Chain A
Amino acid sequence: MIRALLPALMLPAVMLLGACSGVQTPLDPHGGQAARIAGLSWLLFIGGTVIFGVVMALLAWALFAPARLRAAMRSRGFVVGGGIVFPVVTLAALLAHSLGVSRALVTPREDRPLRIEVIGRQYWWEVRYPDFGEHAVTANEIRLPVGREVELLLSSGDVIHSLWIPNLHGKMDMIPGRVNRQRFTADRTGVLRGQCTEFCGLQHSLMAFWTVVQEPAEFDAWLARQQAPVPPPADARAAHGMRVFGEAGCGACHAVRGTEWRGRLGPDLSRVGSRLSLAAGALENHRGTLAGWIAGAQDIKPGNSMPAYGRALDGDDLLALATWLESLR
C-alpha cells in the first residue's frame, strides 16, 4: 500500500508543507542581533535609494537641462565633489556606524551561554547540547530557550556548510578542521527556518532545519526528554516496528537512546516523532512520510546517505517501523 502511495508522496517531496512567510528572513528579527542587522539594512536600503535617485537625477539634468543650466557640470569641481568628497564623507560615517554594529554583535553578554554544537553533514544537521552530556542530541532541529544567550559551536563532518537562521543572526560557515562560534539571544518565541547557505553538494537545496524558540520551562522539559531512554513500545504494532528496526540494520547508522543502537552516521532518532520535519526539512513528519522516506529516500532526495528500503521491507514491516518511529516523541 505504501509503495502505491510513493509516487504521490514523492511529487511534493520538496515542498515544505507548513512553511509560512516570515520564518526565514532577516527582516523579521526574533532577537537583538538580527534586529541590529535589520536596522542597518534598512539604513542601507533607504540611503542607497536616495543616492541612486540623486545620481539619476543628475544624469537626467546633464541630458535634458538647457545648456546654460548644465554648464556648471563641465567643471572638475563637479567630479571632485560628487566622486570624491561626497563618498568620502558618507562612507566614513557609514564605516563608523557599521563598526559600532559589528562590535555590538560580537560582544558577549553572558559568561556561560547555552552552548549548542551543530555539525553540518551532507545533507543534514547534527545538534548536540554539550553542557548536558552526550545524550542531549537531536538532528535537523535546534531548540533554544527565549531570553538566554546561546553560543553555537559550528563544525563540519565532511565539506563546508554554512548555518543561517536569518531571523536570529547572519551566517556562519562550518569548515572542516575548525570550530566557528556565533552568539545570539532570541527575544521572542517562535518557529523559525534555517538553511545551508554554502553549496555543499548534490542535495544542498534540501538541507534545511527548524529552530524552535521556547519558553525556558518548555525547553528544559524537552531537553530532559531528549536525554531520557525511549519508553518500551506501547503496543504490539510498535514492538513489531522496533524489531524491524533492528533486523533491517538501521542501528548501524542511527542511535536510539536506551537501546543498543548507537550509530552516528545518520541522525539520532531517539525522539524523531517529535520533530517538525524529516530529511532536513525536505518532508513534513508523520507516519506516512516516515514510511515513504524509509522506502524511497533516494527518490525523494537522491544522493543522500540514507539507502532506500522500498525493496528490502514489505509494506507491513515498513508501516510498523513508521508506527514505532512516530511514537518516539
Chain B
Amino acid sequence: MDHAVQQAAPARTPNPLPRPPEELARMEAAWRMPRGIALITEYNNNLIGPLFVGTALLFFLLAGILALIMRAQLAFPGMQLVDPATYNQIFTTHGTVMMFLFAVPAVEAVAITLMPAMLGTRELPFPRLGAYAWMIYTIGGLFFYGSIFFGAAPDGGWFMYPPLTSKAYSPGINTDMYLLGIGFIEISAIAGAIELIVGILRCRAPGMTLGRMPLYAWGMLVFGAMVIFAFPAIIIASTLLELERAFGWPFFLPERGGDPLLWQHLFWFFGHPEVYVIFLPAAAMMSMIVPAMAGTRLVAHGLVVMALVGTGFLSFGLWVHHMYATGIPPLSLSFFAAAGFAVSIPSGIQVFAWIATFGAGRVRWEVPTLFSLGFLFIFVLGGLTGVMVSVTPFDWQAHDTYFIVAHLHYVLIGGMVFPLLAALYYWAPAVGSALSDRLGRWAFWLLFAGTNLTFFPMHISGFMGMPRRIYTYPSGLGLELWNLLSSIGAAVFAAGAAVLLLDIVLHFRPGNRPGQKRNYWGAGTAEWLNNYNYGPRSIPRIEDRYPLWRDPDLARQVDEGGHYLPMAATGRREALVTSPAEAKPQYVAVLPYPGWGNVVAAIGTCGFFFALTGTLLIEAALCFLLGLGGFIWWLWTGSDHGPLEPRTVDIGDGIRVPTHATGAVTHSWWAMVTTMLVSGTAFACLLGSWLFLWLVNGDAMWPPPGQGIPAGGFGLLALGLYAAGGLLGWTAARLLGRWPAWTVRVALLLAAALLAVGAASDGWALWSAGIRPEEHAYGAASFAIFAWQATHVAISLLMLGYTIARSLAGKLDGERRVTMDNTQLFVLYTAGQGCVGLALLHGFPRLLA
C-alpha cells in the first residue's frame, strides 16, 4: 500500500502519556447517559444517530410496501386489487415518504451518526437541535404515514400541482396532510443542515484543514448549503397553497390573477436540487468507501471536491427540466437543457475518479464493494437516461411516462439506496457490530437483480405509451409483458429487502464491543478511531487526508489520551471549536446537559401541526404554547451558561484556549447567520412570487382595479420605524457591559415597540389602499410578504422579551452575552427584511407608474 512510504517518523504526542487516571472518570461522568425514562432526553449522536438511521430505514420499508401494492395492481391489465382513490393515495404517499421521510432524513441521519467521529470531534455543536429534529421527524412521519389507513393520505402526486390540489378540486383533508404534515418535517431537514454546516466548518479536529477534510464532510457541507437554499422554496410553496386553501388567497387560481405555474416554479426550484441533495451525500459516501475497499487514496481528490461544489451550484439551474411541456418558449428551454448537460460533467468526474481509484488499488470483494459496484452500474445507466431527458424534444415524449419512472428510480436507487447500503455494511462496525457477509451478499444480489428487473422494462413500457400515475392500463397496447416483468422484479427486490432486514435484526448491535477489531476494513480516516460516549478519548491531531494510513500509531496515541483535550476541562460535556479553513483551535465549547426542553418542544411542534391539519384551532393554540414553552425552557437552561472555571485550558501542544467565547467567533453566531440565510431565501421566494405574478398579470392588472398602490406615508413611517428598531437593537448590544443594565433593557424595550408599531404601519399601508388578499393575487402576494415580515417581528419581540428576562434574572452581562448577540442579529435581519419588502411593495409599482 502506497501510504506506507509516506509514513512520518513517530512524533511527540500533543499531550504527555500516560494520562492521570482520574481524568477519564471525570469525562465519563460528564457524558454518562441519563437512565430510565430520561434516556429520551439524551442527545448523544451515538444514540440519536443509529435511531435516526433506523427510523429512515423503517420509512423505506413502509414506502416500499406501498410500491409492492402498486406493482401487484399493475402486474396485469385491468386488475382491481385497489380502487382508484386508494391507488392515487398509495402512489402519492410512496413518493412523498420516499423523498421526504426516507431519502433526505437517511443521508442526514448517517451524517449525524458518523460526522463527529469523522471530524475527530466529540459531538456536533447543537446536539439538542439534532435530537429535536429526529423527534419531530419520527412523530410527524408516523402520523403522516398513518393517514393512509384512514383514506386521508394526500392523493395529488408528490408534487401536488394546483389547481388539482386547490380547495375546489381537493376539498378533503388529504392535501392539508401533505402541506402541513410534510411541510413541518422540512424544519427537521433544515435544523439538521444548520447543525451539519456549523459542525463541519467549526468542529474539525486541529490540523484538519479544508484540504485534508474527508470527502464525506465536503459532500455534507454542500448538502447543507443546498438544503439552506432549496428547502425554503417548498416551505413557501406549501404555505402559499395552504393560505389559498384555508383563506382563499388566490396565488394559483387564474380567475383571480394567480397562476398554477407559480407552484411549479417554486416546487421545482426545491425539487430539482432535492435530487442532488440526496445524491451528493451518497456520492460522498462512495468517495470514502471506494478508497478503503481499493486500499488506496482517492484519485483526483481535488477534482472530486470541485465536482461536489459544482453540482451544488448547477443543480439550482435545472428546475425547468420538469416543465418542458408547460409551453415555456423553446429558447428559454435550451438554456436549461444546456444546464442539464453541464451537471452531468461533475457526475462524470466522480465516476471516473472511482474507477481510477479501483484501478489504482487492489479491490477487496467485500459486501460494501458489491454495493459500490452495483451503484456504479445502476447510477451510470440512470445518469445517461438523465442526459436523454435533458434533451428537450426527447423529453416531450418521455415526460410523465414510465420512462421517467424508470429514470428516477435508477438515479435514486442507484444514486442513493445502493450507496446507503454500502455505507450500512461499511460503517456498521464503526458504530456497533458488523453485519453478516453471507446475508449481505444475498441481499446485494437480490436487490441488484430486483432493481434492474423492475425498472429496466419501464423504459420500454414508457416508450410503448404508458403514462405514469395510472392505476390500470388497457391490454393490446403492448404493455403486458413489461409490466409483468416489473412486478416480478419488485418481488425480487422485496426479497432482498427482507434479507437485509433480517441481517440488521440478527446481527447489528450498536455500541462498542470489548475486543472488537476497531478499524474493521483497515481504512484511513478518523471515524475508525476508538469511539465512546464522549467520542474519541482525545481529539486527534490531523496531518493527512488519511491520518490512520499516515500514522498507524495514531489510533493508540489517541485512545490513550495523548492528543488534544483528553479531559473534561470544565467537568461538563465539551467540544473543541476550530477555525473554519485551517482548523486552528479557538475555544472549548461547553455543551448543554440533556434536558426535557427539546422533548417538550418537539411534542408541542408536532401537536401544533397535527391540530392545524384537522383545523382544531384551540388544540393548535395549546400545542403552540406548549412548544413555545419547551423552546424557552430549552434555551433558558441549555444555552448561554456564561464563563466557567477554568477560564482557559491547555488542550495540548502548549495551545491554551478559552472555555468561553462571545461574538462572531462563536458557533452560535454562525448558526444564527445560517438561519438568517434560510429566512432570507424564503423571503426571496416570496418577492420572486410577487414579481412572477406581476409578469403574468401585466402592468394593467398590477394593482388590479379597486386596489391601489400601498399608502406611501405609512410605508415611509414603517421604513423609519424598522430602521430605528434595528438600530436600537444594535445599540443595546453595544451598551451591554458598558452602561448600566437598565439602559440596555430600555433600549431593548424601545426596539420592540418600534418594530411592533412599524409592522402595524406596514400592514395598514396595504389595507388602507384597499388591498385585500382574497380578491386578487396582487393582494395575496403583497399580504404574503407582509405576513412573513410580521411573523419575523413577532419572533423578534419574543427574543427581545427573552433577552430582557435574561437581564432581569441576572443572566446577561458583558461576558455572558450570547443571547444578546443572537437577538441583535435577528433584530437587524428583521429590520433589513422589512425595508426590502417595503421597497418592493411601495417602490416597484411607483416605478412602473
0/1 interface trace, chain B 294-314, chain A, CB 8 Å (1 if under): 001001100100010000000
Q: Give 1 or 0 for each of B172-201: 1 = CB within 8 Å of chain A CB.
A: 000000000000000000000000000000
* Residue pair B387, A48 in contact (C-beta under 8 Å): yes
Cβ-based interface call for B12 (8 A): no
On chain B, the residues within 8 Å of A292 by CB distance are none
Pair A14/B341 contact, Cβ less than 8 Å: no
Contact between chains at A171 and B341 (CB < 8 Å): no
> Can you name the residue of chain A whose Cβ is closest to the Cβ of B255?
A177
Residues of A within 8 A of B384 (CB): 48, 51-52
The answer to whether B163 and A197 touch across the interface, beta carbons within 8 angstroms, is: no
Interface residues of B in 232-288 (CB under 8 A from A): 254-255, 258-261
B residues in contact with A106, CB < 8 Å: 330
Q: Is A21 a contact partner of B477 (Cβ separation < 8 A)?
A: yes
Residues in B with CB closer than 8 Å to A59 are 355, 358, 373, 376
Q: Is the CB of A84 within 8 A of B349?
A: yes
Bound: A59/B363 CA distance, A: 12
Question: Is A261 part of the binding interface, using a Cβ–Cβ cutoff of 8 Å?
Answer: no
Bound together, the chains give a CA A267 to CA B254 distance in angstroms of 24
B469 close to A199 (CB less than 8 A): yes
Q: With a CB–CB cut-off of 8 A, which chain B residues contact A21?
A: 464, 476-478
What are the interface flags for B364-398 relative to A under an 8 Å C-beta threshold, 1 for contact and 0 otherwise?
A: 00000000010011001100110110011111110
User: Which stretch in B80-88, B554-562, B571-579 binds the other chain?
Assistant: B80-88
A102 touches B392 (CB 8 A): yes
- B254 to A, closest residue via Cβ: A177
Determine whether the beta carbon of A170 is less than 8 Å from that of B475.
Answer: no
Q: Which of A83-137 contact B (CB under 8 A)?
A: 83-84, 86-88, 91, 94-95, 98-99, 101-103, 105-106, 122
Which of A22, A158, A180 contacts B478 (CB under 8 A)?
A22
B393 CB contacts on chain A under 8 angstroms: 36-37, 40, 98, 101-102, 105, 170
Which residues of B sit under 8 angstroms from A303, Cβ to Cβ? 84-85
Pick from A40, A65, A169, A180: contact of B394, CB below 8 A. A40
> Which residues does chain B contribute within 8 Å of A36, judged by CB atoms?
393
- Indicate whether B798 reaches chain A with its CB closer than 8 angstroms: no
Query: Nearest chain B CB to A40's CB is how many angstroms away?
Result: 6
Categorize the interface residue count of chain B. Answer: 35 or more
Contacts of B356 in A (CB 8 A): 62, 73-75, 78-79
Nearest-Cβ distance from residue B472 to partner chain A, whole angstroms:
5
B593 contacts chain A at the CB level, 8 A cutoff:
no
Nearest-CB distance from B415 to chain A (Å)? 15
A91 to B343 alpha-carbon distance, docked (Å): 11
Is A173 an interface position by the 8 A CB rule? Answer: yes
Considering the complex, give the chain A residue whose CB is closest to the CB of B168: A158
CB-nearest residue of chain B to A176: B254
Once bound together, how far apart are the Cα atoms of A176 and B477, in whole Å?
30
A197 and B467 form a contact (CB under 8 A):
yes
Query: At the interface with chain A, which of B207-215, B332-340, B657-665?
Result: B332-340
- The docked-state distance in angstroms from the alpha carbon of A52 to that of B341 is 16
Determine the chain B residues whose CB is within 8 A of the CB of A15 once the complex forms: 77-78, 474-475
Q: Which residues of A contact B350 (CB under 8 A)?
A: 83
Within 8 Å by CB of B325, from A91, A102, A166, A173, lies A173
Q: What is the bound-complex CA distance between A20 and B476, given in angstroms?
A: 5
Question: Within A192-213, which residues are at the interface with B (CB < 8 Å)?
Answer: 193, 195-205
User: What are the residues of chain A within 8 A of B299 when measuring CB–CB?
Assistant: 73-76, 78-79
- Nearest B residue to A88, CB-CB: B345
Which residues of A, 263-277, contact B by the 8 Å Cβ criterion? none
The answer to whether residues A198 and B400 also contact, given A36-B393, A70-B359, A95-B341 and a CB cut-off of 8 A, is yes
Q: Which residues of B contact A202 (CB under 8 A)?
A: 84-85, 88
B residues 311-349 near A (Cβ < 8 Å) are 325-327, 330, 333-334, 337-338, 341-342, 344-345, 348-349
State whether B360 touches A73 (Cβ < 8 A).
yes
Residues of A within 8 A of B397 (CB): 26, 37, 41, 166, 170-171
- Report the minimum CB–CB distance from A307 to chain B (whole Å): 18
Cβ of A175 under 8 Å from chain B: yes
How far apart are B568's CB and chain A's nearest CB, in angstroms? 45
CB of B465 within 8 A of chain A?
yes
Q: Is A67 among interface residues, defined by CB-CB distance under 8 A?
A: yes
Q: Which residues of B contact A91 (CB under 8 A)?
A: 341-342, 344-345, 387
A227–B131 alpha-carbon span in the complex (Å): 70
A16 to B478, CA, bound (A): 12
The reply to whether B303 and A19 form a contact with Cβ atoms under 8 Å apart is no
Contacts of A325 in B (CB 8 A): none
Q: How far is the CA of A180 from the CA of B156 in the complex (A)?
A: 23
Contact B327 A175 (CB under 8 A): yes
**Cβ < 8 Å to B, chain A residues 167-192:** 169-173, 175-178, 180-181
- On whether the beta carbons of A87 and B345 are closer than 8 Å, the reply is yes
Asked if residues A205 and B84 are in contact (CB atoms below 8 Å), the reply is: yes
Are B83 and A79 in contact, CB atoms less than 8 angstroms apart?
Answer: no
Least distance between A79 CB and chain B CB atoms (Å): 4
A171:B325 contact, CB within 8 angstroms: yes
In the complex, B680 has a CB within 8 A of chain A? no
A239 nearest CB across to chain B (Å):
36
Instruction: Give the docked Cα–Cα distance between A202 and B85 (Å).
Output: 6
* Minimum Cβ distance to chain A for residue B623 (Å): 33
Instruction: Tell whether A44 is near chain B: CB-to-CB under 8 Å.
Output: yes
Complexed CA–CA distance, A173 and B395 (Å): 13
Quick check: B349 and A25 within 8 Å, CB to CB?
no
Does residue A164 face the partner (Cβ distance < 8 Å to B)?
A: yes
Q: Does A23 contact B (CB under 8 A)?
A: yes
Contact B352 A82 (CB under 8 A): yes
**Chain B residues with Cβ under 8 A from A180's Cβ?**
326-327
Q: Is A80 an interface residue (CB 8 A)?
A: yes
**Chain B residue with Cβ nearest A10:** B80
For the complex, give the distance between the alpha carbons of A281 and B102 in Å: 38
Specify which chain B residues have a CB less than 8 angstroms from the CB of A81 in the assembled complex.
352
Q: Does A24 contact B (CB under 8 A)?
A: yes
Residues of B with C-beta under 8 A to A195 = 465, 467
A170–B325 touching, CB < 8 Å: yes
Chain B residues, CB < 8 A from A198: 161, 400
Known contacts A86-B348, A175-B327; A44/B400 CB under 8 A? no
Closest to B303 in A: A79
What sequence of 0s and 1s flags, for each residue 394-408 of chain B, a beta carbon within 8 Å of any chain A beta carbon? 111101110000000
Task: Report how far A136 CA is from B58 CA in the complex, Å.
Answer: 57
Q: B470 on the interface (CB 8 Å rule)?
A: yes
Residue of B whose beta carbon sits closest to that of A122 = B169
CA of A180 to CA of B401, assembled, Å: 20
Q: Which of B164, B355, B380, B395 has the most CB of A within 10 A?
A: B355
Check A18 for interface membership: any CB of B closer than 8 A: yes
- In contact, B163 and A79 (Cβ under 8 angstroms): no
Across-interface contacts of B399 in A (CB, < 8 A)? 170-171, 197
**Residues 14-73 of A at the B interface (beta carbon under 8 Å):** 14-27, 36-37, 40-41, 44-45, 48, 51-52, 55-56, 58-59, 61-63, 65, 67, 70-71, 73
- Is residue A246 within 8 Å, beta carbon to beta carbon, of the partner chain? no
A169 & B396 in contact (Cβ 8 Å cutoff): yes
Q: Are B163 and A159 in contact (CB under 8 A)?
A: yes
B327 near A84: Cβ-Cβ < 8 Å: no
Chain B nearest CB, measured from A45 CB (Å): 8
Residue among B77, B300, B376 having the largest count of chain A Cβ atoms under 10 Å? B300
Return the contact of A193 from the options B373, B391, B477 (Cβ within 8 A): B477
Q: Does B702 contact A (CB under 8 A)?
A: no
Asked if B396 and A170 make an inter-chain contact with CB atoms under 8 angstroms apart, the answer reads yes
A75 contacts across to B, CB distance below 8 A: 299, 356
Are A95 and B338 touching (Cβ within 8 A)?
yes
A216: CB under 8 A from chain B?
A: no
**Can you name 16 extra interface pairs (CB under 8 A) apart from A23-B465, A52-B381, A74-B299?**
A15-B474, A25-B463, A25-B464, A48-B385, A48-B387, A78-B299, A82-B348, A83-B353, A87-B344, A95-B341, A164-B400, A164-B467, A173-B325, A173-B326, A177-B258, A197-B468
Interchain residue pairs with CB less than 8 A apart (7): A37-B394, A55-B351, A74-B296, A74-B360, A79-B353, A91-B341, A197-B467
Considering the complex of A and B, which 5 residue pairs feature the smallest CB-CB distances, nearest first? A170-B396, A177-B254, A73-B359, A24-B465, A74-B360
